[in-house]
Chains A and B, each alone.
Chain A
Amino acid sequence: SAVISQKPSRDICQRGTSLTIQCQVDSQVTMMFWYRQQPGQSLTLIATANQGSEATYESGFVIDKFPISRPNLTFSTLTVSNMSPEDSSIYLCSVEEARQFFGPGTRLTVL
């Protein structure tokens, strides 16, 4: 089973700044996903990130706000741009290998 790590594990940021979250997998995977879990809420898919192609964003999420990179089959980044307090959430990456494995998440607080 895939082992996924995320950096940072948590951060506190100021309004208007940007934060880049890293997701590292211990094996090569084709499909990676980024989710958001707002406080007390379920998981919402932000985008699908496949290596060699542009990320596919879900309704309500745009590339300018959440740019994603996928430079190789073991790594991806999600940037939360021009942050506001409403962006305070846990951000999780996951990979598909017969089922989805999830990273430990990045807990973001925007002041």
Chain B
Amino acid sequence: AQSVAQPEDQVNVAEGNPLTVKCTYSVSGNPYLFWYVQYPNRGLQFLLKYITGDNLVKGSYGFEAEFNKSQTSFHLKKPSALVSDSALYFCAVRDPTTVINDYKLSFGAGTTVTVRA
């Protein structure tokens, strides 16, 4: 079975400060990992993904995430947060080695990020 955990329901930071949104995963094989963002009354937008290769993945809007296999984590980071980054962030995982779960994403519970001016 595949699953992700986002241990923080909410993250609050001041504009200009670093932003980190935590995610840990559980899969039987090597994971495919994703971050999505959901703005109010809008669908999910893709931020970045890790498939293989460099553990540091750069994505949209200045976000990046670091894959850490030993800690089974894939935390999302942004060096300097903007008020416009306030949204709901979802981590998702897929186990590509299991045919039954092929292409299915399992989402975390989501983390609400609030960036104050």
Contact = CB atoms under 8 A, between A and B. Distances in A.
Interface residues of B, number: 18
Nearest to A10: B41
Contacts of B43: 4, 92, 102-105
B49 A42 contact: no
B3 to A, nearest CB: 11
B87 interface: no
A101 B46 contact: yes
Interface in B79-117: 90, 103-110
A100 B92 CA distance: 11
B90 A42 contact: yes
A19 interface: no
Given A42-B108, A42-B109, A31 B46 contact: no
Interface residues of A, number: 20
B44 A92 contact: yes
Interface string A1-32: 00010000000000000000000000000010
Interface string B40-66: 011111100100000000000000000
Interface string A88-111: 000010101001111111010000
B25 interface: no
A44 to B, nearest CB: 8
A33 B44 CA distance: 14
Contacts of A62: none
A48 B36 CA distance: 20
- The 5 tightest CB contacts between A and B, nearest first, are A102-B44, A104-B43, A43-B107, A102-B43, A42-B107
12 contacts: A33-B103, A41-B109, A42-B107, A43-B44, A43-B105, A43-B107, A48-B104, A99-B46, A99-B49, A102-B36, A102-B44, A103-B43
Given A33-B104, A42-B90, 14 more contacts: A33-B103, A42-B107, A42-B108, A42-B109, A43-B44, A43-B90, A44-B107, A45-B104, A48-B104, A92-B43, A99-B49, A102-B36, A102-B44, A107-B41
Interface of A: 4, 31, 33, 41-45, 48, 92, 94, 96, 99-105, 107
